[in-house]
Amino acid sequence: MDNLHHVVVVGGGAGGLELVTSLGNKLGKKRKARITLVDAGLTHVWKPLLHEVASGSLDANANEINYRAHARKHRYEFQLGRMSGLDRTAKKLVIAPFYDEDGAEVVPERHISYDTLVIAVGSTANDFGTPGAQDNCLFLDSLRQARRFHKLMLNAFLRKNHEAMQGAEHALNVNIIGAGATGVELAAELRLASRELPVYGMNHLQASDVSINVIEAADRILPALPARLSAAATRELERQNVKVLTGQPVSEVRATSIVMKDGTELPSEMTIWAAGIKAPAFLAELGGLEVNRSNQLVVEQTLQTTQDTDIFALGDCAACPQPDSDRPVPPRAQAAHQQADTLFKTLCNRLENGKAVPFVYNDHGSLINFSRYTTVGNLMGNLSGRSMYVEGKVARLFYLSLYRMHQVALHGMLRTGIIWLMDRISRAMHPRLKLH
C-alpha cells in the first residue's frame, strides 16, 4: 500500500469531497492509488445551505455527511486535523495537534507524505479590516458558526417575546452586511423565521416587530449578477418587508449598532457579516506558494500552483485564470464542482504519465432562493450563450437540482433518490423550523 501513488486532498468542502469520492471509487477501489482526505471537522454540509441551517429551515443533522463513514464506503482514508504547514522539499504536509473541547490534546502534530497534493480549503468572510466586525458580527463560514447563529437567533426571539409579554420595548433589529447571494437568501430565511416562530408559542412577538436590513456598499444588491436579476431580487425583498440599503458602506460595527460611512447609526441586536470572501490566511505562508491579495493560491489553467507542479488547488482558495477574461474563475459552488471533475481526469492521467487537463469554466447561470416564497435567476444557454430569466416554481426546481447534483456526485443516483424520499418524509413529520 505504501508504494502506491499517494494523493492527499486538504479540505472536505464541495469540490474536495467530490474529488476524493471520484478518486476513491476509481483508483482507491482498484488499489491503483492511495487517497487521503484531511479536514478539521468530522462532517460535511454543503456550504450554500449554511444560511438555511442558521435560520432553522434546514436540520444539519439530517443533511451532514460523516467523513469516516463516507471514506469507508468510497475507499479513501480520512485524517482529522487542520493543515498548518508544508515542506515541499520532503513532500510532507503538517497537521496541527487536535484538541478536545476542554483543551486537552487528543492527537499530536503529524506529518503526512504525499506524491500529489490538492488544496481545497475554501474561503472565509472578508471584513476588510472594518473596526468592530470581528468582535460584534456573526459569520457563516462553517457549520459550527451556523449552529451558533441558530441558537443566538432563537434566544433573541425568546427574549423579545418575553419583553413583549411585559409590555416593554421589544423591537428586534437585524442587519445583514453584504448583499451577495448569501446575504439576500439569509434575509428571506430570517423573514420566514419571524413569521413561523409565533406559531410555536412565541405569539407575543410579531413579524412586524422584527426589522431586517440588507446593507450593500455597491449601488445595487447582487452586484456580480445581471442587473435584471438584481432588480427582481430587490422587489422580492421589499415585498417581504426587508429594507434594502445600497450605496451604504459600513465604517464601524458596535455591540448594539452599526455606523455607516455617512455617520448614520442603525440599532442592531444581531449583525451578520456576509460581504466579501478571502482564502484562509495560512496559505500566504505555505511553502512559498504564490498567492494574491485575497490569500488565494495562484494556479495555472491546469489548476497546478505556479511554484509546484505536484500541488494543485481548487475552489474558493484558488485563483484560476479564464482564457477569455482578465478575471479569475468566480468563487462559486458550480466552479468548484467543475474543477473537481477536471482535476479528477488530470490525476487519473498522472498515473499513466498523461497530461494535465486545462480547466474551462462554464457559467450555467445564477439562482437566488427566497426561502419558501419564490426563486429567481438566470440560466445560461449552452448553444446560444444567452441567458434566460426564470422565476417561481421553475426556478425553484432548478435551484433544488443543484443540491441534488452534489448529492449524486457523493452518493450516486440510487442513494440520492432514497435521501430525497427520506427528506420528504422528514418534512411531513417535523416542524417547518428547527426549534432547538
Q: pTM for the whole thing?
A: 0.91
What are the CA-CA distances from residue 307 to residues 89, 121, 310, 360 (Å)? 12, 18, 9, 21
- Grid coordinates 500552483 are at which residue? 305
Write 95-100 long-range contacts (CB < 8 A, 24+).
Answer: 95/38
Phi, psi (rounded to 5 degrees) for 162 = -65, -40
Cell numbers of 145, please? Answer: 458558526
Longest CA pairwise span in the chain (Å)? 74
Series of mean pLDDT values for 10-residue runs along the chain (436 residues):
88 96 96 96 92 88 91 96 95 93 90 97 94 96 94 93 90 95 94 86 88 96 91 94 95 96 95 94 92 96 97 97 88 94 97 94 89 84 63 82 89 89 77 67
For residue 422, count other CB atoms closer than 10 A to its CB: 11
Q: Do domains 5-123+279-350 and 145-273 have the same CATH topology?
A: yes
* DSSP category for residue 47: G
The domain made up of 5-123+279-350 is a member of CATH 1.10.10.10:
no
Q: Domain-by-domain residue ranges, the chain? A: 5-123+279-350, 145-273, 365-429
Pairing label, strands 304-305, 308-313: antiparallel
* 153-155-156-161 Cα dihedral, nearest 10 degrees: 130
Give the pLDDT confidence score for residue 420 in this predicted structure: 85
Q: What angle do CA 353, 354, 360 make, to 5 degrees?
A: 145
Contacts (Cβ under 8 Å, ≥6 apart) of 227: 220
Please give the class, per CATH, of domain 145-273.
alpha beta
* DSSP category for residue 1: -
C-alpha to C-alpha distance for 60 and 91, rounded to whole angstroms: 36
Give the pLDDT confidence score for residue 326 in this predicted structure: 84
Determine what percent of the chain is predicted with pLDDT higher than 90: 70
